[in-house]
Amino acid sequence: MTDPTAGSRILIIDYGSQFTQLIARRVREARVYSEIHPPRVSLDWIRAWNPTGIILSGGPNSVYDEGAPTAPIELLDVAPVLGVCYGMNLIVQLEGGRITPAREREYGRAMLEVLEPGGLFEGFAAGEQTQVWMSHGDQVAALPPGYVTVASSGNSPFAAFRHRSRPIHGVQFHPEVAHSLRGKEIIANFLFGVCRARPTWTPGAFIADEVEKIRALVGSSKVICGLSGGVDSSVAAMLVHRAIGDQLTCIFVDNGLLRLHEREQVERMFRANHGMNLVTVRAEERFLSALAGVEDPEEKRRIIGHTFIDVFEAAALDVGGDVRFLVQGTLYPDVIESVSPRGGPSVTIKTHHNVGGLKPDMKFRLIEPLRELFKDEVRNVGRELGLSEEMVGRHPFPGPGLGIRVLSDLTVQKLDVLRQADAIYLEEIRAAGLYDEIWQAFAVLLPVRSVGVMGDYRTYENVVALRAVTSTDGMTADWFPFPHDVLARISSRIINEVKGVNRVVYDVSSKPPATIEWE
Protein backbone atom coordinates (compact mmCIF):
# COMPACT_ATOMS: atom_id res chain seq x y z
CA MET A 1 0.00 0.00 0.00
CA THR A 2 1.29 3.46 -0.86
CA ASP A 3 1.89 5.60 2.21
CA PRO A 4 2.86 9.22 1.46
CA THR A 5 4.00 9.70 5.08
CA ALA A 6 6.38 6.73 5.12
CA GLY A 7 9.36 8.48 3.52
CA SER A 8 9.14 11.81 5.36
CA ARG A 9 7.67 12.21 8.79
CA ILE A 10 8.70 14.10 11.87
CA LEU A 11 8.24 12.76 15.38
CA ILE A 12 7.56 15.45 17.97
CA ILE A 13 8.17 14.43 21.58
CA ASP A 14 5.90 16.55 23.79
CA TYR A 15 7.51 17.68 27.04
CA GLY A 16 4.52 19.80 28.00
CA SER A 17 4.96 23.09 26.13
CA GLN A 18 1.91 25.17 25.36
CA PHE A 19 3.43 25.54 21.87
CA THR A 20 3.85 21.84 21.00
CA GLN A 21 0.84 21.80 18.70
CA LEU A 22 2.26 24.84 16.94
CA ILE A 23 5.41 22.87 16.12
CA ALA A 24 3.28 20.21 14.45
CA ARG A 25 1.37 22.90 12.57
CA ARG A 26 4.55 24.51 11.26
CA VAL A 27 5.96 21.18 10.09
CA ARG A 28 2.75 20.30 8.28
CA GLU A 29 2.56 23.77 6.73
CA ALA A 30 5.88 22.84 5.11
CA ARG A 31 4.05 19.76 3.68
CA VAL A 32 5.89 17.28 5.89
CA TYR A 33 3.85 14.90 8.04
CA SER A 34 4.27 15.14 11.80
CA GLU A 35 2.86 13.46 14.89
CA ILE A 36 3.00 14.37 18.58
CA HIS A 37 3.80 11.63 21.10
CA PRO A 38 4.59 11.63 24.84
CA PRO A 39 8.05 11.01 26.36
CA ARG A 40 6.93 7.58 27.53
CA VAL A 41 7.08 6.08 24.02
CA SER A 42 9.81 3.45 23.90
CA LEU A 43 13.00 3.63 21.90
CA ASP A 44 11.96 0.45 20.05
CA TRP A 45 8.67 2.09 19.09
CA ILE A 46 10.47 5.20 17.84
CA ARG A 47 12.86 3.13 15.74
CA ALA A 48 9.95 1.16 14.27
CA TRP A 49 8.11 4.41 13.47
CA ASN A 50 11.20 5.33 11.47
CA PRO A 51 11.12 9.13 11.72
CA THR A 52 12.89 11.33 9.21
CA GLY A 53 13.64 13.71 12.06
CA ILE A 54 12.82 14.19 15.74
CA ILE A 55 11.87 17.42 17.50
CA LEU A 56 12.03 17.61 21.30
CA SER A 57 9.55 20.26 22.44
CA GLY A 58 9.74 22.82 25.18
CA GLY A 59 8.16 22.29 28.57
CA PRO A 60 7.55 23.81 32.01
CA ASN A 61 10.05 21.64 33.92
CA SER A 62 13.76 21.99 34.61
CA VAL A 63 15.85 19.09 33.33
CA TYR A 64 17.66 18.85 36.68
CA ASP A 65 14.39 18.48 38.70
CA GLU A 66 13.73 15.11 40.27
CA GLY A 67 11.27 13.19 38.10
CA ALA A 68 11.58 15.56 35.13
CA PRO A 69 10.74 13.87 31.82
CA THR A 70 13.75 12.67 29.90
CA ALA A 71 14.81 10.51 26.94
CA PRO A 72 17.28 7.69 26.35
CA ILE A 73 20.58 9.02 25.02
CA GLU A 74 20.30 6.55 22.13
CA LEU A 75 17.40 8.66 20.81
CA LEU A 76 19.94 11.19 19.55
CA ASP A 77 21.26 8.68 17.01
CA VAL A 78 17.92 7.46 15.62
CA ALA A 79 17.42 10.45 13.28
CA PRO A 80 18.39 14.13 13.09
CA VAL A 81 17.26 15.91 16.26
CA LEU A 82 16.15 19.46 17.01
CA GLY A 83 15.74 20.42 20.66
CA VAL A 84 13.54 23.43 21.42
CA CYS A 85 13.96 25.16 24.81
CA TYR A 86 13.48 22.28 27.30
CA GLY A 87 14.37 19.91 24.47
CA MET A 88 17.64 21.78 23.93
CA ASN A 89 18.45 21.62 27.63
CA LEU A 90 17.69 17.90 27.63
CA ILE A 91 20.23 17.33 24.85
CA VAL A 92 22.84 19.21 26.87
CA GLN A 93 22.14 17.14 29.97
CA LEU A 94 22.15 13.81 28.10
CA GLU A 95 25.43 14.64 26.36
CA GLY A 96 27.32 15.76 29.49
CA GLY A 97 26.90 19.54 29.45
CA ARG A 98 25.54 21.70 32.26
CA ILE A 99 22.18 23.47 32.70
CA THR A 100 21.68 26.06 35.44
CA PRO A 101 18.95 28.54 36.44
CA ALA A 102 19.33 31.68 34.35
CA ARG A 103 20.53 34.81 36.11
CA GLU A 104 17.46 36.51 34.64
CA ARG A 105 14.41 34.67 33.38
CA GLU A 106 13.75 35.50 29.75
CA TYR A 107 10.17 35.73 28.49
CA GLY A 108 9.05 37.47 25.33
CA ARG A 109 10.84 39.04 22.40
CA ALA A 110 14.62 38.94 22.20
CA MET A 111 17.20 39.74 19.53
CA LEU A 112 19.21 36.75 18.33
CA GLU A 113 22.63 37.21 16.74
CA VAL A 114 23.58 34.57 14.19
CA LEU A 115 27.22 33.59 14.75
CA GLU A 116 27.44 30.81 12.18
CA PRO A 117 25.30 30.77 9.03
CA GLY A 118 24.32 27.42 7.57
CA GLY A 119 22.47 24.49 9.12
CA LEU A 120 19.44 25.89 10.94
CA PHE A 121 20.50 29.35 9.83
CA GLU A 122 20.98 28.69 6.13
CA GLY A 123 20.14 31.92 4.32
CA PHE A 124 21.14 34.12 7.26
CA ALA A 125 24.26 36.31 7.32
CA ALA A 126 27.04 36.12 9.92
CA GLY A 127 26.32 38.76 12.56
CA GLU A 128 22.73 39.17 11.43
CA GLN A 129 20.20 39.90 14.16
CA THR A 130 16.65 38.60 14.11
CA GLN A 131 13.77 38.75 16.56
CA VAL A 132 12.86 35.52 18.35
CA TRP A 133 10.52 34.53 21.19
CA MET A 134 12.06 33.33 24.45
CA SER A 135 10.28 31.56 27.30
CA HIS A 136 12.73 30.01 29.75
CA GLY A 137 14.14 30.21 33.26
CA ASP A 138 17.14 27.90 32.68
CA GLN A 139 20.06 28.25 30.33
CA VAL A 140 23.10 26.37 29.09
CA ALA A 141 26.09 26.99 31.37
CA ALA A 142 28.48 24.66 29.53
CA LEU A 143 28.12 22.90 26.19
CA PRO A 144 28.80 19.17 26.00
CA PRO A 145 31.96 17.99 24.22
CA GLY A 146 31.63 18.13 20.45
CA TYR A 147 29.08 20.99 20.35
CA VAL A 148 29.53 24.54 19.05
CA THR A 149 27.50 27.72 19.51
CA VAL A 150 25.83 29.05 16.36
CA ALA A 151 23.70 31.90 17.79
CA SER A 152 23.44 33.96 20.97
CA SER A 153 21.22 36.58 22.61
CA GLY A 154 21.83 39.16 25.32
CA ASN A 155 20.69 36.77 28.05
CA SER A 156 21.53 33.45 26.37
CA PRO A 157 25.15 33.09 25.21
CA PHE A 158 24.30 29.59 23.92
CA ALA A 159 20.95 30.46 22.29
CA ALA A 160 21.51 27.90 19.51
CA PHE A 161 24.06 25.14 19.00
CA ARG A 162 24.93 22.17 16.81
CA HIS A 163 27.07 19.08 17.09
CA ARG A 164 30.26 19.25 15.03
CA SER A 165 29.59 16.02 13.10
CA ARG A 166 26.20 14.60 14.09
CA PRO A 167 22.85 16.10 12.94
CA ILE A 168 21.87 17.36 16.38
CA HIS A 169 20.72 20.95 16.87
CA GLY A 170 19.26 22.96 19.72
CA VAL A 171 17.62 26.37 20.09
CA GLN A 172 16.76 28.14 23.35
CA PHE A 173 13.95 30.12 21.69
CA HIS A 174 10.67 29.04 20.08
CA PRO A 175 10.89 29.17 16.27
CA GLU A 176 7.33 27.85 15.97
CA VAL A 177 5.63 31.03 17.27
CA ALA A 178 4.82 33.97 15.03
CA HIS A 179 6.91 36.36 17.17
CA SER A 180 10.06 34.54 15.97
CA LEU A 181 10.07 36.45 12.71
CA ARG A 182 12.13 33.95 10.68
CA GLY A 183 11.11 30.90 12.69
CA LYS A 184 9.46 29.18 9.74
CA GLU A 185 12.72 29.40 7.81
CA ILE A 186 14.61 27.85 10.72
CA ILE A 187 12.14 24.96 10.90
CA ALA A 188 12.30 24.54 7.11
CA ASN A 189 16.09 24.45 7.28
CA PHE A 190 15.86 21.64 9.80
CA LEU A 191 13.30 19.71 7.73
CA PHE A 192 14.89 20.04 4.32
CA GLY A 193 18.51 20.96 4.95
CA VAL A 194 19.23 18.73 7.94
CA CYS A 195 16.65 15.92 7.68
CA ARG A 196 16.39 15.87 3.86
CA ALA A 197 12.63 15.48 4.20
CA ARG A 198 10.38 15.42 1.15
CA PRO A 199 7.33 17.74 1.05
CA THR A 200 4.76 15.04 0.20
CA TRP A 201 2.11 15.83 2.82
CA THR A 202 -0.68 17.16 0.55
CA PRO A 203 -4.48 16.78 0.58
CA GLY A 204 -4.34 14.65 -2.58
CA ALA A 205 -1.71 12.30 -1.13
CA PHE A 206 -3.67 12.03 2.12
CA ILE A 207 -6.89 11.15 0.28
CA ALA A 208 -5.21 8.51 -1.89
CA ASP A 209 -3.65 6.86 1.16
CA GLU A 210 -6.82 6.91 3.25
CA VAL A 211 -8.95 5.55 0.40
CA GLU A 212 -6.65 2.51 0.15
CA LYS A 213 -6.63 2.02 3.92
CA ILE A 214 -10.42 2.24 4.16
CA ARG A 215 -10.95 -0.23 1.32
CA ALA A 216 -8.52 -2.71 2.87
CA LEU A 217 -10.14 -2.38 6.29
CA VAL A 218 -13.78 -2.54 5.22
CA GLY A 219 -13.68 -5.19 2.50
CA SER A 220 -17.27 -5.99 1.53
CA SER A 221 -18.82 -4.89 4.83
CA LYS A 222 -21.33 -2.08 5.06
CA VAL A 223 -20.52 1.14 6.87
CA ILE A 224 -22.65 3.78 8.53
CA CYS A 225 -21.63 7.37 9.17
CA GLY A 226 -23.01 9.75 11.75
CA LEU A 227 -23.51 12.78 9.56
CA SER A 228 -24.12 16.02 11.46
CA GLY A 229 -23.74 18.44 8.56
CA GLY A 230 -20.66 20.03 10.12
CA VAL A 231 -17.33 20.25 8.32
CA ASP A 232 -15.70 17.28 10.07
CA SER A 233 -18.42 14.66 9.59
CA SER A 234 -19.14 15.91 6.05
CA VAL A 235 -15.50 15.56 4.95
CA ALA A 236 -15.23 12.17 6.67
CA ALA A 237 -18.39 10.99 4.88
CA MET A 238 -17.15 12.21 1.49
CA LEU A 239 -13.79 10.51 1.98
CA VAL A 240 -15.31 7.17 2.95
CA HIS A 241 -17.87 7.45 0.12
CA ARG A 242 -15.03 7.91 -2.37
CA ALA A 243 -13.44 4.74 -1.01
CA ILE A 244 -16.45 2.41 -0.85
CA GLY A 245 -19.36 4.12 -2.62
CA ASP A 246 -22.78 2.64 -1.87
CA GLN A 247 -21.41 0.44 0.91
CA LEU A 248 -21.72 3.62 2.97
CA THR A 249 -25.02 4.80 4.43
CA CYS A 250 -25.04 8.15 6.17
CA ILE A 251 -27.38 8.52 9.11
CA PHE A 252 -28.45 12.00 10.04
CA VAL A 253 -29.98 12.16 13.49
CA ASP A 254 -32.29 15.04 14.29
CA ASN A 255 -31.76 15.02 18.04
CA GLY A 256 -33.57 18.26 18.76
CA LEU A 257 -30.23 19.96 19.49
CA LEU A 258 -29.59 21.28 15.98
CA ARG A 259 -29.39 24.78 14.58
CA LEU A 260 -32.32 26.33 12.73
CA HIS A 261 -33.16 24.49 9.44
CA GLU A 262 -30.12 22.19 9.86
CA ARG A 263 -31.93 19.00 8.85
CA GLU A 264 -33.30 20.44 5.61
CA GLN A 265 -29.89 21.80 4.59
CA VAL A 266 -28.11 18.49 5.16
CA GLU A 267 -30.73 16.46 3.28
CA ARG A 268 -30.59 18.79 0.30
CA MET A 269 -26.80 18.89 0.11
CA PHE A 270 -25.94 15.21 0.43
CA ARG A 271 -28.90 13.58 -1.29
CA ALA A 272 -29.30 15.98 -4.18
CA ASN A 273 -25.75 17.23 -4.70
CA HIS A 274 -23.61 14.21 -3.86
CA GLY A 275 -25.91 11.24 -4.46
CA MET A 276 -25.16 9.59 -1.13
CA ASN A 277 -27.34 7.09 0.73
CA LEU A 278 -28.81 9.22 3.51
CA VAL A 279 -31.24 8.13 6.22
CA THR A 280 -32.81 10.75 8.47
CA VAL A 281 -33.83 9.64 11.94
CA ARG A 282 -36.21 11.85 13.94
CA ALA A 283 -35.15 11.29 17.54
CA GLU A 284 -35.86 14.59 19.27
CA GLU A 285 -38.12 13.11 21.94
CA ARG A 286 -35.70 10.29 22.69
CA PHE A 287 -32.77 12.63 23.31
CA LEU A 288 -34.68 15.24 25.29
CA SER A 289 -36.26 12.55 27.44
CA ALA A 290 -32.83 11.09 28.23
CA LEU A 291 -31.51 14.58 29.03
CA ALA A 292 -34.45 15.71 31.16
CA GLY A 293 -33.27 17.48 34.30
CA VAL A 294 -29.54 17.05 33.48
CA GLU A 295 -27.41 20.16 34.01
CA ASP A 296 -23.84 18.84 34.28
CA PRO A 297 -22.08 19.32 30.89
CA GLU A 298 -20.02 16.12 31.15
CA GLU A 299 -23.16 14.12 31.89
CA LYS A 300 -24.89 15.77 28.93
CA ARG A 301 -22.01 14.75 26.66
CA ARG A 302 -22.08 11.20 27.97
CA ILE A 303 -25.85 10.84 27.49
CA ILE A 304 -25.80 12.39 24.02
CA GLY A 305 -22.89 10.19 22.90
CA HIS A 306 -24.47 6.98 24.22
CA THR A 307 -27.88 7.84 22.80
CA PHE A 308 -26.31 8.48 19.40
CA ILE A 309 -24.87 4.97 19.41
CA ASP A 310 -28.22 3.48 20.44
CA VAL A 311 -29.85 5.28 17.52
CA PHE A 312 -27.11 4.16 15.11
CA GLU A 313 -27.46 0.54 16.20
CA ALA A 314 -31.21 0.64 15.60
CA ALA A 315 -30.78 2.42 12.25
CA ALA A 316 -28.13 -0.10 11.17
CA LEU A 317 -30.71 -2.88 11.41
CA ASP A 318 -32.80 -1.02 8.82
CA VAL A 319 -29.76 -0.60 6.55
CA GLY A 320 -29.49 -4.37 6.34
CA GLY A 321 -26.52 -6.50 5.49
CA ASP A 322 -23.27 -6.77 7.39
CA VAL A 323 -22.82 -3.37 9.08
CA ARG A 324 -19.60 -3.46 11.06
CA PHE A 325 -18.17 0.06 10.97
CA LEU A 326 -19.10 3.55 12.15
CA VAL A 327 -17.45 6.62 10.61
CA GLN A 328 -16.72 9.64 12.80
CA GLY A 329 -15.16 13.01 12.04
CA THR A 330 -12.72 13.00 14.98
CA LEU A 331 -9.88 15.54 14.59
CA TYR A 332 -6.44 15.81 16.15
CA PRO A 333 -7.44 18.63 18.57
CA ASP A 334 -10.33 16.41 19.76
CA VAL A 335 -7.84 13.69 20.62
CA ILE A 336 -5.36 16.09 22.24
CA GLU A 337 -8.01 17.77 24.41
CA SER A 338 -9.64 14.49 25.45
CA VAL A 339 -6.50 12.59 26.48
CA SER A 340 -3.35 14.11 27.92
CA PRO A 341 -0.44 13.25 25.58
CA ARG A 342 2.31 13.93 28.07
CA GLY A 343 2.79 10.69 29.89
CA GLY A 344 1.57 11.77 33.32
CA PRO A 345 -1.88 11.42 34.83
CA SER A 346 -4.43 12.11 32.13
CA VAL A 347 -5.95 15.57 32.42
CA THR A 348 -9.21 15.74 30.51
CA ILE A 349 -10.39 19.25 29.66
CA LYS A 350 -13.70 17.90 28.40
CA THR A 351 -14.99 14.64 27.07
CA HIS A 352 -15.31 15.03 23.33
CA HIS A 353 -18.38 13.47 21.76
CA ASN A 354 -16.22 11.69 19.19
CA VAL A 355 -13.54 10.49 21.61
CA GLY A 356 -14.64 9.92 25.17
CA GLY A 357 -18.43 9.89 24.92
CA LEU A 358 -19.01 6.52 23.26
CA LYS A 359 -20.41 3.40 24.87
CA PRO A 360 -17.72 0.91 25.92
CA ASP A 361 -19.81 -2.01 24.62
CA MET A 362 -20.46 -0.43 21.22
CA LYS A 363 -20.67 -3.15 18.57
CA PHE A 364 -19.22 -1.07 15.72
CA ARG A 365 -15.55 -0.63 14.88
CA LEU A 366 -14.67 3.01 14.37
CA ILE A 367 -13.31 4.52 11.17
CA GLU A 368 -11.80 7.93 11.95
CA PRO A 369 -10.03 9.00 8.76
CA LEU A 370 -9.43 12.58 9.96
CA ARG A 371 -8.07 11.69 13.39
CA GLU A 372 -4.57 13.07 12.72
CA LEU A 373 -5.68 16.29 10.97
CA PHE A 374 -6.10 19.84 12.18
CA LYS A 375 -9.22 21.76 11.13
CA ASP A 376 -7.63 23.75 8.31
CA GLU A 377 -6.19 20.52 6.88
CA VAL A 378 -9.69 19.00 6.98
CA ARG A 379 -11.04 21.98 5.06
CA ASN A 380 -8.35 21.52 2.37
CA VAL A 381 -9.17 17.81 2.10
CA GLY A 382 -12.85 18.76 1.72
CA ARG A 383 -12.02 21.13 -1.13
CA GLU A 384 -9.98 18.41 -2.81
CA LEU A 385 -12.98 16.06 -2.50
CA GLY A 386 -15.28 18.57 -4.20
CA LEU A 387 -17.25 19.93 -1.26
CA SER A 388 -18.58 23.45 -1.77
CA GLU A 389 -16.85 26.42 -0.17
CA GLU A 390 -20.07 27.10 1.72
CA MET A 391 -19.71 23.70 3.38
CA VAL A 392 -15.96 23.60 4.05
CA GLY A 393 -16.00 27.16 5.35
CA ARG A 394 -18.69 26.53 7.96
CA HIS A 395 -17.86 27.32 11.54
CA PRO A 396 -17.29 24.30 13.80
CA PHE A 397 -20.37 22.88 15.52
CA PRO A 398 -19.92 20.55 18.50
CA GLY A 399 -21.14 16.97 18.46
CA PRO A 400 -23.49 17.59 21.43
CA GLY A 401 -24.93 20.55 19.53
CA LEU A 402 -27.03 23.11 21.37
CA GLY A 403 -27.14 20.73 24.33
CA ILE A 404 -23.94 22.29 25.67
CA ARG A 405 -24.93 25.85 24.75
CA VAL A 406 -27.95 25.86 27.04
CA LEU A 407 -26.17 26.17 30.37
CA SER A 408 -28.90 24.47 32.38
CA ASP A 409 -31.32 21.60 31.97
CA LEU A 410 -32.76 21.26 28.46
CA THR A 411 -36.33 21.99 27.39
CA VAL A 412 -37.89 22.53 23.98
CA GLN A 413 -38.65 26.14 24.91
CA LYS A 414 -35.03 26.93 25.91
CA LEU A 415 -33.66 25.28 22.78
CA ASP A 416 -36.06 27.22 20.56
CA VAL A 417 -35.01 30.51 22.18
CA LEU A 418 -31.34 29.70 21.61
CA ARG A 419 -31.97 28.48 18.04
CA GLN A 420 -33.63 31.74 17.05
CA ALA A 421 -30.99 33.92 18.74
CA ASP A 422 -28.15 31.94 17.16
CA ALA A 423 -29.72 32.19 13.69
CA ILE A 424 -30.05 35.98 13.96
CA TYR A 425 -26.45 36.24 15.19
CA LEU A 426 -25.02 34.27 12.25
CA GLU A 427 -27.28 36.06 9.77
CA GLU A 428 -25.99 39.45 10.89
CA ILE A 429 -22.37 38.27 10.83
CA ARG A 430 -22.80 37.16 7.22
CA ALA A 431 -24.58 40.41 6.31
CA ALA A 432 -21.65 42.37 7.72
CA GLY A 433 -19.18 40.32 5.63
CA LEU A 434 -17.43 39.02 8.75
CA TYR A 435 -18.28 35.31 8.69
CA ASP A 436 -15.05 34.19 7.01
CA GLU A 437 -12.92 36.32 9.35
CA ILE A 438 -14.24 34.39 12.37
CA TRP A 439 -13.22 30.85 13.33
CA GLN A 440 -16.39 30.16 15.31
CA ALA A 441 -19.39 32.21 16.41
CA PHE A 442 -22.39 31.08 18.42
CA ALA A 443 -24.92 32.11 21.04
CA VAL A 444 -25.22 30.68 24.56
CA LEU A 445 -28.34 30.68 26.74
CA LEU A 446 -27.24 31.52 30.27
CA PRO A 447 -28.86 30.05 33.40
CA VAL A 448 -29.75 33.52 34.69
CA ARG A 449 -32.60 35.93 34.20
CA SER A 450 -32.45 39.69 34.36
CA VAL A 451 -34.81 42.60 34.84
CA GLY A 452 -35.63 44.70 31.82
CA VAL A 453 -38.20 47.12 30.46
CA MET A 454 -40.13 46.60 27.23
CA GLY A 455 -42.58 49.36 26.47
CA ASP A 456 -43.83 50.44 29.85
CA TYR A 457 -43.66 46.96 31.35
CA ARG A 458 -41.11 45.33 33.62
CA THR A 459 -39.68 42.08 32.24
CA TYR A 460 -37.76 39.27 33.90
CA GLU A 461 -36.30 37.26 31.04
CA ASN A 462 -33.32 35.28 29.73
CA VAL A 463 -29.78 36.46 29.04
CA VAL A 464 -28.01 35.41 25.83
CA ALA A 465 -24.21 35.51 25.59
CA LEU A 466 -22.50 35.86 22.22
CA ARG A 467 -19.16 34.18 21.51
CA ALA A 468 -16.91 34.78 18.48
CA VAL A 469 -13.25 33.85 18.20
CA THR A 470 -10.39 33.87 15.73
CA SER A 471 -8.11 30.84 15.54
CA THR A 472 -6.06 28.66 13.22
CA ASP A 473 -6.77 25.20 14.58
CA GLY A 474 -8.92 25.64 17.70
CA MET A 475 -6.04 24.93 20.09
CA THR A 476 -5.73 28.63 20.98
CA ALA A 477 -8.17 31.44 20.20
CA ASP A 478 -8.70 35.19 20.64
CA TRP A 479 -12.07 36.91 20.93
CA PHE A 480 -13.17 38.71 17.78
CA PRO A 481 -13.25 42.55 17.95
CA PHE A 482 -16.67 43.29 16.44
CA PRO A 483 -17.40 46.79 15.18
CA HIS A 484 -19.71 48.34 17.76
CA ASP A 485 -22.49 49.00 15.27
CA VAL A 486 -22.60 45.31 14.30
CA LEU A 487 -22.85 44.21 17.93
CA ALA A 488 -25.55 46.81 18.53
CA ARG A 489 -27.57 45.57 15.57
CA ILE A 490 -27.26 41.93 16.65
CA SER A 491 -28.31 42.75 20.22
CA SER A 492 -31.26 44.84 19.08
CA ARG A 493 -32.59 42.16 16.74
CA ILE A 494 -32.27 39.34 19.28
CA ILE A 495 -34.03 41.30 22.03
CA ASN A 496 -36.78 42.51 19.71
CA GLU A 497 -37.35 39.30 17.74
CA VAL A 498 -36.72 36.47 20.21
CA LYS A 499 -39.48 36.20 22.78
CA GLY A 500 -38.04 35.54 26.22
CA VAL A 501 -34.72 37.44 25.88
CA ASN A 502 -34.18 40.92 27.31
CA ARG A 503 -30.39 41.12 27.61
CA VAL A 504 -27.41 40.27 25.35
CA VAL A 505 -23.75 40.15 26.49
CA TYR A 506 -20.51 39.55 24.58
CA ASP A 507 -17.74 37.17 25.74
CA VAL A 508 -14.25 38.73 25.57
CA SER A 509 -12.28 35.73 26.91
CA SER A 510 -9.39 34.14 25.02
CA LYS A 511 -8.32 30.48 24.95
CA PRO A 512 -6.47 29.85 27.20
CA PRO A 513 -7.53 30.46 29.93
CA ALA A 514 -11.11 29.96 28.73
CA THR A 515 -12.22 27.29 26.28
CA ILE A 516 -14.06 28.23 23.09
CA GLU A 517 -17.29 26.51 24.13
CA TRP A 518 -18.74 27.42 27.51
CA GLU A 519 -19.39 23.79 28.47
352 a catalytic residue: no
Distance of alpha carbon 7 from alpha carbon 24, whole angstroms = 17
Q: What angle do CA 44, 49, 51 make, to 5 degrees?
A: 110
CB-CB contact of 13 with 71 (8 Å)? yes
What is the number of alpha carbons within 13 Å of residue 247 lying toward its C-beta? Answer: 22
Distance of alpha carbon 227 from alpha carbon 218, whole angstroms = 19
CB-CB contact of 5 with 27 (8 Å)? no
E strands of 350-509, at which residues?
365-367, 440-454, 457-470, 478-479, 501-506
CB-CB contact of 242 with 275 (8 Å)? no
- Strands 160-163 and 457-470, how do they pair? unpaired
Distance of alpha carbon 443 from alpha carbon 507, whole angstroms = 10
225 a catalytic residue: no
> Annotated catalytic residue: which of 106, 136, 163, 176?
176
Q: C-alpha 347: how far from its chain's center?
A: 16
Distance of alpha carbon 18 from alpha carbon 241, whole angstroms = 37
> Annotated catalytic residue: which of 136, 163, 169, 174?
174
85 a catalytic residue: yes
Distance of alpha carbon 50 from alpha carbon 203, whole angstroms = 22
Which residues are designated catalytic? 85, 174, 176
